[in-house]
Amino acid sequence: MKNFVLIFLIFPSIVLSQDFSDRWKGYFSYYNITDLDESDNKVYAAAENAYFIYDIPTQSIQTVTSIEGLSGNKISKIYHSKNYGLTCIGYEDGLIQIVMDNNQNIFSVVDIRDKISISPNNKRINHFFEFEGKLYISTDFGIAEYSLQNLEFEDSFFIGENGSQIQINQITILEEKIYAATSLEGIKSADITNPNLIDFEAWKTEYTGNWKGILNFSNTIFGLRNNNTISTLENGNTSVFGDAGSNVIGFNVSGGQLVITAANQVLAFNSELNIEAFIDQLQNTEFSINTSVSSNGHYFLGHSSLGLLNLQNSTTATFSELSPAGPLLNRIFSLESTSNDLWITFGEFDQFLNPFPLNSRGLSHLKDGEWINIDVEDLNNARELSNVSIDPSNPNRVFVSSYFDGLLEIENNELVQQYDSSNSIIEGVPSNLNDNRIGASVFDTQGNLYFTNSIAENQLKRLNANGEFVNIDMSNGYLNPTETSSSKMVIDNNNNIFIGTLGDGVVAYSASTGTSALISSNIQGVEFPDTFNANPNITALEIDENSRLWIGTQAGLRVMSNPTAIFNESQNVSVSPIIIEDVDGLPQELLFEQFITDITTDGANNKWISTADSGVFQVSANGQDILNIFNVENSPLPTNSIRTVEINQATGEVFFGTPSGLLSYSSRVTSGNETLENLRAYPNPVRPNYTGLVTIDGLTNGANVKITDVSGNLVFEEFVDGGSLQWDTRAFGKHKVASGVYFIVVTGEDQIKTKVGKIMIIR
């Protein structure tokens, strides 16, 4: 470890990545395997922006994600060096990360990614080839030479005509000659002992044509042409070895075999060039293979939707699925949770609520820590699944909105019924009656389900608890319903409903009076952000614990302090921005011109606000204080584009859904409890090497928490919102308290409920 620290200090382009596993979790999908490598009885499987290691003898799995320090970007190549005990990860953007086997430290090598003279479109890492302590890296601009011993770049070779940049797809070495397969300038070669390989004139075009790959197998050079024919190369001559018959997407030597992965088959040849494996079908599934390797008689295939597959017998189509459990996809669209369940949809419509091109993507359900994935074929092939509402009286029953195929009722993870224009009052869009765009949905306090029906005469509908469908009169809410698209929807404790629209404001409905209204920019007191439309696109809605309506738009944030005033013409309506002070003490608008994608409230009435390109903001109950900002720079988020935020109120776990995966953060803020019976403090005891915070949970809303020593001296006091708080083990934020037993005295807001707990601190 000391050697690597020294290297880090000498070469600032090597950056030690941060491990976020203390408070973050990753819930990535490992079902689309994009690249494989095998080394020392292990298979290294890249799955879009994370990877895992499958140990063949023990059948154990280790995952490595952005939580451990990966960048979260799209992986283009993975390679493991047995000689140096490290894994090299290459990315589409030119970043290389090196993961050490011994301590799992991750070093980011940024030289290629940050090189200004190379176009961002030419930085992709295509291949790694190790030779005598050096790693030869094929890229879209040329070749980079990297020392695995010193963990530093040595040279870059621009070997195109007149030293120009050129795409190198693969490299190999035989008898002190290095070969490079290029897309446009044939196969180039040079003497590997030449100290001046940086000179493009040292490289000669030995074979003309367009080549996708090159490798050394059994001391013979094999080349893969762009037309998918494979040839042996010797002394400037080529001899056709075979034609794959379809697009070749994998070309490697693994497990002592030449392995060729094509669109419709996998071929493996032994050192005598006899076929060891011919795989062209998989039992009961589509043959959709991205890559494959051989290891000790096993064939490991990287499938595009089933993950890593193991075929122990290449003569049969049976296989084992090896990928870690996770959601179907990384492209998260929406989330919905209870204390024990998390539902995920993958959508997706765009910011203008356009569902085309249509997607068929299934659902994922995390229940009690176990993943249940529901294939779209088991959902009647319903497309554009965009929203889930969980029945509060029966958590095993959910309703799923399809923004093209109606409304789905699911119970115990099985489709019960699909409602559309053929069997219910659901309406299609005027131009296509089969296009049934169901958007958001919410349950009221009576167990009725309200849902939106976009671009339809009757936009708000209700499915009563008894199974009856009802159209809701919204004549005072929607001005042009057959031309209006509805987006988000929320409901308060009094069954008042608020619906966001695309450019037409917020539509409100009072279930108690049956009245509807429109909150738009032409109403006095409504200060929506300035956009090209009279009203912005409403992209997020949330009712907080104080019954305030938080409104997210594509151009900023607004708060309506008295949303039910819209139903009473005699009351003033106020929709306004939140003004805070910046670091210079100057007033500024909170989230000015930010594209807000989602808003949710935690147990302390703090708001978690996600954005389209700036990460996630946690703000205080009134929005005056920014408590946290999470983005790619300071967190394991793989992107700053956050589509949805959801909170498990029982645990305080905050889920972030992104186009690049699902992650969560332990906020340690929970909703208030009814009693103090579950009061606890952890960790307990606090040991000398612990530097974090002590969490006290099981609290009621508004409770007073006092911490005293055994002599009754007060060292901490706080009133809480929600069901938990954190203590830094300091006496009123000053010095750390001494070793000993401390009493936690909790008094409920009503001054009647009381509870005393203990915590031991060891310094």
pLDDT tens-place string over residues 16-36: 899 999 899 999 999 999 999
What whole-number distance in Å separates Cα of residue 126 and Cα of residue 124? 6
244 secondary structure, DSSP code: -
What whole-number distance in Å separates Cα of residue 375 and Cα of residue 306? 11
**What does the angle CA 55 – CA 58 – CA 59 come to, to the nearest 5 degrees?**
60
Residue 117 burial class via C-beta count within 10 angstroms: exposed 0-12, middle 13-18, buried 19 and up: exposed
Q: Are 181 and 213 in contact (CB under 8 A)?
A: yes
Q: What is the CATH number of the domain that holds 684?
A: 2.60.40.3080
> What digits encode the pLDDT tens for the residues 396-444?
999 999 999 999 999 999 999 999 999 999 999 999 999 999 999 999 9
Q: Which of 324, 350, 376 is the last residue of a domain?
A: 324
What whole-number distance in Å separates Cα of residue 730 and Cα of residue 743? 14
What whole-number distance in Å separates Cα of residue 519 and Cα of residue 666? 36
Give a yes or no: residue 160 inside a domain: no
Q: What is the CATH number of the domain that holds 301?
A: 2.40.10.480
Q: Does pLDDT of 449 surpass 80?
A: yes
User: CB under 8 Å to 752, separation ≥6 — which residues?
Assistant: none
Q: Which of 297, 324, 351 is the last residue of a domain?
A: 324
> What digits encode the pLDDT tens for the residues 229-272?
999 999 999 999 999 889 999 999 999 999 999 999 999 999 99
Which of 315-319, 465-469, 573-577 is the most confident on average? 465-469
582 secondary structure, DSSP code: -
Q: What is the pTM of this model?
A: 0.90
The pLDDT of residue 11 = 39
What whole-number distance in Å separates Cα of residue 574 and Cα of residue 572? 7
The pLDDT of residue 221 = 98
Q: Does pLDDT of 12 surpass 50?
A: no
Token pair for residue 587?
Answer: 């007033």
User: CA gyration radius for the chain?
Assistant: 30
Give a yes or no: residue 709 inside a domain: yes
Give a yes or no: residue 334 inside a domain: no
What whole-number distance in Å separates Cα of residue 224 and Cα of residue 177? 18
Q: Are 13 and 289 in contact (CB under 8 A)?
A: no
Burial 239-275 (b: 16+ CB within 10 A, else e): eebeebeeebbbbbbbbebbbbbbeebbbbbeeeeee
Q: Are 498 and 512 in contact (CB under 8 A)?
A: no
pLDDT bucket at 186, cuts 50 / 70 / 90: very high
Residue type, 10: I
E strands, 545-589, in order: 549-553, 556-560, 575-576, 579-581, 587-589
Q: Are 277 and 267 in contact (CB under 8 A)?
A: yes
Q: Are 683 and 693 in contact (CB under 8 A)?
A: no
Give a yes or no: residue 583 inside a domain: no
> What digits encode the pLDDT tens for the residues 475-521?
999 999 999 999 899 999 999 999 999 999 999 999 999 999 999 99
> What percentage of the chain carries pLDDT values higher than 90?
85
> What digits encode the pLDDT tens for the residues 192-217?
999 999 999 999 999 999 999 999 99
The pLDDT of residue 314 = 73
Rounded to an integer, the average pLDDT of 208-228 is 97
Closest listed residue to residue 97, CA positions, set 130, 64, 122, 60: 64
Give a yes or no: residue 370 inside a domain: no
What residues make up the domain containing 737? 680-761
Average pLDDT, the chain: 94
> What digits encode the pLDDT tens for the residues 599-646?
999 998 999 999 999 999 999 999 999 999 999 999 999 999 999 999
Q: Does pLDDT of 2 surpass 60?
A: no
Give backbone dihedrals phi and psi of 609, rounded to 5 degrees, phi first. Answer: -120, 120
> What digits encode the pLDDT tens for the residues 104-142?
899 999 999 999 999 999 999 999 999 999 999 999 999
Token pair for residue 690?
Answer: 């612990």
The pLDDT of residue 644 = 98
The pLDDT of residue 55 = 97
Burial 61-95 (b: 16+ CB within 10 A, else e): bebbbbbbbbbbbebbbbbbbeebebbbbbbbbbb
Give a yes or no: residue 176 inside a domain: no
Q: Which of 324, 343, 362 is the last residue of a domain?
A: 324
Give a yes or no: residue 751 inside a domain: yes
SS3 115: coil
The pLDDT of residue 7 = 35
What whole-number distance in Å separates Cα of residue 445 and Cα of residue 377? 33
Which helix or strand (DSSP H or E) is residue 9 part of? helix 2-10
The pLDDT of residue 13 = 64
- What DSSP letter does each residue of 634-698 carry, written as one string? TSS-S-S---EEEEETTTTEEEEEETTEEEEEE----PPPSSSTT-EEESSSB-TT--SPEEEES
Number of domains observed in the structure of the chain = 2
Give a yes or no: residue 174 inside a domain: no
> What digits encode the pLDDT tens for the residues 663-687?
999 998 888 888 999 899 989 999 9
The pLDDT of residue 5 = 36
> What digits encode the pLDDT tens for the residues 367-394?
999 999 999 999 999 999 999 999 999 9
Strand partners, 730: 736
